[in-house]
Structure 1
Amino acid sequence: MQFWGKSQRTEKERKTGRRTIRPLPIWHNHKPPDDAKEALILMAVAFVDDRYFIKYHPDAFYETGLEAYLKTHNLSSIEICGAQTQLCIGTTIRIAFHLGFSVTILNNGFSTFDSDHLTAEQINAHHLSIWRNVFAKII
Protein backbone atom coordinates (compact mmCIF):
# COMPACT_ATOMS: atom_id res chain seq x y z
CA MET A 1 0.00 0.00 0.00
CA GLN A 2 1.34 3.43 -0.89
CA PHE A 3 1.58 6.09 1.75
CA TRP A 4 -0.39 8.86 0.01
CA GLY A 5 -2.37 9.11 -3.17
CA LYS A 6 -4.04 6.19 -4.88
CA SER A 7 -3.66 3.01 -2.90
CA GLN A 8 -5.35 -0.28 -2.31
CA ARG A 9 -7.83 -0.19 0.53
CA THR A 10 -7.41 -2.59 3.41
CA GLU A 11 -10.26 -4.91 4.39
CA LYS A 12 -11.07 -2.66 7.36
CA GLU A 13 -11.16 0.40 5.08
CA ARG A 14 -13.52 -1.34 2.67
CA LYS A 15 -15.87 -2.35 5.53
CA THR A 16 -15.90 1.03 7.30
CA GLY A 17 -15.58 3.26 4.25
CA ARG A 18 -12.84 5.20 6.06
CA ARG A 19 -9.27 5.52 4.88
CA THR A 20 -6.47 4.69 7.25
CA ILE A 21 -3.75 7.30 7.04
CA ARG A 22 -0.36 6.43 8.42
CA PRO A 23 1.76 9.17 9.96
CA LEU A 24 4.31 11.13 7.96
CA PRO A 25 7.44 10.89 10.13
CA ILE A 26 9.76 13.85 10.46
CA TRP A 27 13.01 13.24 12.32
CA HIS A 28 15.07 16.04 13.77
CA ASN A 29 18.82 15.70 13.48
CA HIS A 30 21.20 18.35 14.71
CA LYS A 31 23.47 17.70 11.76
CA PRO A 32 23.47 15.70 8.51
CA PRO A 33 24.53 12.05 8.83
CA ASP A 34 28.32 11.67 9.02
CA ASP A 35 28.45 8.65 6.81
CA ALA A 36 26.39 6.13 4.89
CA LYS A 37 26.07 3.86 7.95
CA GLU A 38 24.44 6.62 10.01
CA ALA A 39 22.09 7.46 7.13
CA LEU A 40 21.08 3.80 6.85
CA ILE A 41 20.25 3.69 10.56
CA LEU A 42 17.93 6.67 10.11
CA MET A 43 16.22 5.03 7.14
CA ALA A 44 15.91 1.63 8.83
CA VAL A 45 13.19 2.84 11.20
CA ALA A 46 10.79 3.57 8.35
CA PHE A 47 8.89 1.04 6.27
CA VAL A 48 10.23 0.54 2.77
CA ASP A 49 7.29 2.32 1.13
CA ASP A 50 6.94 5.11 3.68
CA ARG A 51 7.73 8.71 2.87
CA TYR A 52 9.55 10.53 5.63
CA PHE A 53 11.50 13.74 6.11
CA ILE A 54 14.66 14.55 8.05
CA LYS A 55 15.01 18.09 9.33
CA TYR A 56 17.94 20.00 10.81
CA HIS A 57 16.02 22.99 12.21
CA PRO A 58 13.02 23.42 14.56
CA ASP A 59 10.76 24.23 11.58
CA ALA A 60 9.64 20.98 9.89
CA PHE A 61 9.00 22.91 6.68
CA TYR A 62 12.43 24.57 6.36
CA GLU A 63 14.57 22.90 3.67
CA THR A 64 12.68 19.60 3.92
CA GLY A 65 10.30 19.62 0.95
CA LEU A 66 7.37 19.01 3.31
CA GLU A 67 5.30 21.96 2.11
CA ALA A 68 5.66 20.98 -1.54
CA TYR A 69 4.87 17.36 -0.73
CA LEU A 70 1.68 18.22 1.17
CA LYS A 71 0.50 20.66 -1.50
CA THR A 72 1.32 18.26 -4.35
CA HIS A 73 -0.89 15.69 -2.65
CA ASN A 74 -3.67 18.26 -2.05
CA LEU A 75 -3.39 17.99 1.72
CA SER A 76 -4.59 21.16 3.43
CA SER A 77 -4.96 19.94 7.00
CA ILE A 78 -2.33 18.33 9.20
CA GLU A 79 -2.06 16.90 12.69
CA ILE A 80 1.12 17.60 14.62
CA CYS A 81 2.55 15.73 17.59
CA GLY A 82 5.99 15.21 19.09
CA ALA A 83 8.64 17.04 21.05
CA GLN A 84 9.99 19.60 22.01
CA THR A 85 7.02 21.86 22.73
CA GLN A 86 8.71 25.27 22.78
CA LEU A 87 11.03 24.53 19.84
CA CYS A 88 10.06 22.07 17.11
CA ILE A 89 6.35 21.74 17.85
CA GLY A 90 5.62 25.43 18.43
CA THR A 91 7.64 26.55 15.43
CA THR A 92 6.11 23.99 13.09
CA ILE A 93 2.56 24.82 14.22
CA ARG A 94 3.06 28.52 13.55
CA ILE A 95 4.75 27.99 10.18
CA ALA A 96 2.06 25.51 9.08
CA PHE A 97 -0.63 28.04 10.04
CA HIS A 98 1.10 30.83 8.11
CA LEU A 99 1.52 28.57 5.07
CA GLY A 100 -2.26 28.10 5.04
CA PHE A 101 -2.60 24.63 6.55
CA SER A 102 -5.37 23.80 8.98
CA VAL A 103 -3.54 22.46 12.04
CA THR A 104 -4.87 20.03 14.64
CA ILE A 105 -2.98 18.93 17.73
CA LEU A 106 -3.91 16.48 20.47
CA ASN A 107 -4.27 18.04 23.91
CA ASN A 108 -1.49 15.75 25.16
CA GLY A 109 0.23 14.98 21.86
CA PHE A 110 3.42 16.93 22.57
CA SER A 111 6.05 17.04 25.28
CA THR A 112 9.15 18.78 26.52
CA PHE A 113 11.61 18.86 29.40
CA ASP A 114 11.74 21.04 32.50
CA SER A 115 13.72 24.23 31.96
CA ASP A 116 15.66 26.23 34.53
CA HIS A 117 12.58 28.41 35.07
CA LEU A 118 9.48 26.30 34.30
CA THR A 119 8.34 22.72 34.59
CA ALA A 120 7.49 20.80 31.44
CA GLU A 121 3.84 20.90 32.52
CA GLN A 122 3.94 24.72 32.75
CA ILE A 123 5.65 25.03 29.36
CA ASN A 124 3.09 22.74 27.72
CA ALA A 125 0.13 24.56 29.30
CA HIS A 126 1.48 27.96 28.25
CA HIS A 127 1.99 26.93 24.63
CA LEU A 128 -1.34 25.16 24.46
CA SER A 129 -3.06 28.39 25.55
CA ILE A 130 -1.27 30.28 22.76
CA TRP A 131 -2.05 27.75 20.02
CA ARG A 132 -5.71 27.19 20.97
CA ASN A 133 -8.16 28.81 18.53
CA VAL A 134 -5.44 30.88 16.90
CA PHE A 135 -2.87 28.60 15.31
CA ALA A 136 -4.45 25.18 15.83
CA LYS A 137 -7.53 23.24 16.74
CA ILE A 138 -6.90 21.35 19.98
CA ILE A 139 -8.64 18.00 20.43
Structure 2
Amino acid sequence: MSRNVSRRNRPAAPPAPQQPQPTTHRVEVHHQSWEGPLPSPATLEAFRDIVPDAPERIFRQWEVESAHRRDYEMMALKGSIARDQRGQLAAIAFALSALATGIIALFLGYPAVAGVVVGTTIVSVVAAFLYQRRKS
Protein backbone atom coordinates (compact mmCIF):
# COMPACT_ATOMS: atom_id res chain seq x y z
CA MET A 1 0.00 0.00 0.00
CA SER A 2 1.42 3.09 -1.04
CA ARG A 3 0.57 6.12 0.58
CA ASN A 4 -0.04 9.09 -1.51
CA VAL A 5 0.43 12.33 0.36
CA SER A 6 -1.03 15.32 -1.26
CA ARG A 7 0.35 18.77 -0.95
CA ARG A 8 -2.70 19.90 0.87
CA ASN A 9 -2.22 17.56 3.70
CA ARG A 10 1.42 18.15 3.98
CA PRO A 11 2.35 20.12 7.10
CA ALA A 12 3.20 23.73 6.39
CA ALA A 13 6.85 24.70 6.40
CA PRO A 14 7.94 26.75 9.39
CA PRO A 15 7.89 30.44 8.64
CA ALA A 16 11.22 31.90 7.65
CA PRO A 17 12.78 33.87 10.47
CA GLN A 18 12.19 37.53 9.94
CA GLN A 19 15.13 39.85 9.88
CA PRO A 20 14.88 42.58 12.50
CA GLN A 21 14.15 45.90 10.94
CA PRO A 22 16.79 48.51 11.74
CA THR A 23 15.49 51.22 14.01
CA THR A 24 16.51 54.77 13.56
CA HIS A 25 16.57 57.43 16.20
CA ARG A 26 16.69 61.12 15.61
CA VAL A 27 18.58 63.20 18.12
CA GLU A 28 18.58 66.96 18.02
CA VAL A 29 21.00 68.94 20.10
CA HIS A 30 20.55 72.65 20.61
CA HIS A 31 23.35 74.55 22.24
CA GLN A 32 23.27 78.14 23.26
CA SER A 33 25.94 79.97 25.17
CA TRP A 34 26.48 83.45 26.49
CA GLU A 35 29.55 84.95 28.06
CA GLY A 36 29.62 88.12 30.02
CA PRO A 37 28.91 89.61 33.39
CA LEU A 38 25.21 90.02 32.65
CA PRO A 39 22.54 87.54 31.54
CA SER A 40 21.87 87.11 27.83
CA PRO A 41 19.27 89.34 26.17
CA ALA A 42 16.88 86.39 25.89
CA THR A 43 17.22 85.70 29.61
CA LEU A 44 16.63 89.36 30.39
CA GLU A 45 13.45 89.25 28.30
CA ALA A 46 12.33 86.16 30.20
CA PHE A 47 12.95 88.02 33.47
CA ARG A 48 10.98 90.99 32.10
CA ASP A 49 8.00 88.65 31.53
CA ILE A 50 8.08 87.72 35.21
CA VAL A 51 9.00 91.10 36.73
CA PRO A 52 8.54 94.10 34.42
CA ASP A 53 11.50 96.14 35.71
CA ALA A 54 13.83 93.16 36.29
CA PRO A 55 16.38 94.04 33.55
CA GLU A 56 16.74 97.61 34.85
CA ARG A 57 17.18 96.32 38.39
CA ILE A 58 19.78 93.78 37.24
CA PHE A 59 21.72 96.46 35.35
CA ARG A 60 21.56 98.86 38.29
CA GLN A 61 22.84 96.18 40.68
CA TRP A 62 25.65 95.28 38.27
CA GLU A 63 26.67 98.95 37.98
CA VAL A 64 26.69 99.40 41.78
CA GLU A 65 28.68 96.18 42.26
CA SER A 66 31.19 97.18 39.56
CA ALA A 67 31.70 100.63 41.09
CA HIS A 68 32.19 99.04 44.52
CA ARG A 69 34.77 96.59 43.15
CA ARG A 70 36.70 99.38 41.38
CA ASP A 71 36.66 101.52 44.56
CA TYR A 72 37.89 98.57 46.62
CA GLU A 73 40.68 97.78 44.17
CA MET A 74 41.73 101.46 44.08
CA MET A 75 41.79 101.57 47.88
CA ALA A 76 43.92 98.40 47.98
CA LEU A 77 46.30 99.82 45.37
CA LYS A 78 46.71 103.10 47.28
CA GLY A 79 47.32 101.16 50.50
CA SER A 80 49.96 99.03 48.81
CA ILE A 81 51.72 102.11 47.42
CA ALA A 82 51.65 103.82 50.83
CA ARG A 83 53.08 100.69 52.51
CA ASP A 84 55.90 100.53 49.96
CA GLN A 85 56.68 104.22 50.44
CA ARG A 86 56.81 103.80 54.24
CA GLY A 87 59.16 100.86 53.81
CA GLN A 88 61.41 102.83 51.47
CA LEU A 89 61.53 105.81 53.86
CA ALA A 90 62.34 103.53 56.78
CA ALA A 91 65.12 101.87 54.76
CA ILE A 92 66.58 105.26 53.78
CA ALA A 93 66.46 106.44 57.41
CA PHE A 94 68.17 103.24 58.58
CA ALA A 95 70.89 103.44 55.90
CA LEU A 96 71.61 107.13 56.58
CA SER A 97 71.76 106.58 60.34
CA ALA A 98 74.11 103.61 59.86
CA LEU A 99 76.35 105.70 57.58
CA ALA A 100 76.31 108.55 60.13
CA THR A 101 77.22 106.09 62.87
CA GLY A 102 80.10 104.80 60.74
CA ILE A 103 81.39 108.33 60.08
CA ILE A 104 81.19 109.20 63.79
CA ALA A 105 83.00 105.96 64.67
CA LEU A 106 85.73 106.82 62.14
CA PHE A 107 86.22 110.32 63.61
CA LEU A 108 86.33 108.87 67.13
CA GLY A 109 89.18 106.59 66.12
CA TYR A 110 87.37 103.28 65.59
CA PRO A 111 88.06 102.48 61.92
CA ALA A 112 87.22 98.77 62.30
CA VAL A 113 83.77 99.54 63.72
CA ALA A 114 83.21 102.18 61.05
CA GLY A 115 84.17 99.70 58.31
CA VAL A 116 81.87 97.01 59.66
CA VAL A 117 78.89 99.36 60.09
CA VAL A 118 79.30 101.05 56.69
CA GLY A 119 80.21 97.80 54.89
CA THR A 120 77.25 95.83 56.23
CA THR A 121 74.91 98.73 55.48
CA ILE A 122 76.06 98.94 51.87
CA VAL A 123 75.87 95.15 51.45
CA SER A 124 72.34 94.99 52.92
CA VAL A 125 71.07 97.88 50.74
CA VAL A 126 72.51 96.33 47.57
CA ALA A 127 71.12 92.91 48.54
CA ALA A 128 67.66 94.43 49.11
CA PHE A 129 67.66 96.07 45.67
CA LEU A 130 68.82 92.87 43.99
CA TYR A 131 66.19 90.82 45.85
CA GLN A 132 63.47 93.26 44.81
CA ARG A 133 64.50 93.04 41.13
CA ARG A 134 64.65 89.27 41.20
CA LYS A 135 61.23 89.11 42.90
CA SER A 136 59.51 91.20 40.24
Q: TM-score, normalised by structure 2?
A: 0.22
Of Structure 1 and Structure 2, the greater strand share is in: 1
The structure with the largest alpha-carbon Rg is: 2
Using CA pairs below 8 Å that are at least 6 residues apart, which structure has the higher relative contact order? 1
TM-score, normalised to structure 1, is 0.21
Higher normalized helix content (fraction of residues): 2
